[in-house]
Copies of this chain bind each other. A is one copy, B any other.
Amino acid sequence: MTATHSPVLTGPVEDYLKAIYDLERGAGPATTNEIALRLAISPASVSGMMRRLADLGLITHEPYRGVRLTEEGRRAALRTLRRHRILECYLTEVLGYSWDRVHDEAEQLEHAASEELVERMAAALGEPAHDPHGAPIPSRDGTVEEWTLRTLADASAGERVRVRQVMDKDAARLRYLAELGIRPGASVSVVDRAPFDGPITLLVGGAGAEVTRAVGPALAAQVFVEPLGAE
């Protein structure tokens, strides 16, 4: 029984935990450099913070080997992630934000909004399960829907897929994807894949209202999809 209830973490600490959580999900332990890159902070500063986080019992740190969240650190990261994603939902659905602008606003608010505020927002929205970019919202008790989806860049010609999630860091990219009709829930058929990292030709939209689009592989790699039965 490790209770140790949220001793109120600072904004920066929450940001570090979120970054580590995310990096750890891909490869193994998160490395100093990766964290520094993601948070736009010098590696030396990250090293210093790793020390503090380890002292707080939020991570375990093997020098020169990387860091891992402890159970407590994971819980804290998921709490912040839940706040962030519910805020994103609320901003788009209730306050009319476009999906390319919610990320930055939520990034600020997530450190200031109380648990209660966020839960009231979630209730007002009917306890949403995914944020506007399709990312799953962690539950109150710290569980998350953990899938490993393929990206549109991995889909082969002739395949029919449904868009599940798009990466939300870059606003311009999100605006462009919205223009193309590529958003969570949309169905997409891969018409053709040009060789040598060439463009991927798609049919976007439901039966009857399909439009032809072409995207580069870099963009396609930002779009997570699941198979939908061959065409």
Q: Interface of A with B (CB < 8 Å)?
A: 91, 94-97, 105, 108-109, 111-114, 116-117, 120-121, 124
CA distance A155 to B206 in the complex (A): 70
The listed residue (B109, B120, B124) touching A113 by CB distance below 8 A is B109
Contact among B97, B111, B120 for A96, CB-based, below 8 A: B120
Copies of this chain: 2
When distances are taken between beta carbons in the complex, the residues of chain B under 8 Å from A109 are 109, 112-113, 117
A121 to B109, CA, bound (A): 14
With a cutoff of 8 Å between Cβ atoms, the chain B residues found around residue A116 in the complex are 105
Q: Which residue of B lies closest to A97 (CB)?
A: B120
18 A-B residue contacts at CB 8 Å? A91-B117, A94-B124, A95-B117, A95-B121, A95-B124, A96-B120, A105-B116, A105-B117, A108-B112, A108-B113, A108-B114, A109-B109, A109-B112, A109-B113, A109-B117, A111-B112, A112-B112, A112-B113
- Name 12 extra pairs, CB < 8 A, besides A108-B114, A109-B112: A91-B117, A95-B120, A95-B124, A96-B120, A105-B114, A105-B116, A105-B117, A108-B112, A108-B113, A109-B113, A109-B117, A112-B113
CB neighbours (8 Å) of A121 from chain B are 95
Contacts of A108 in B (CB 8 A): 112-114
CB distance from A182 to the nearest CB of B (A): 26
Bound Cα distance A62, B207 (Å): 74
- Rounded to whole angstroms, the CA-CA distance of A105 and B121 in the bound complex is 14
Measured CB to CB, the closest approach of chain B to A142, in angstroms, equals: 23
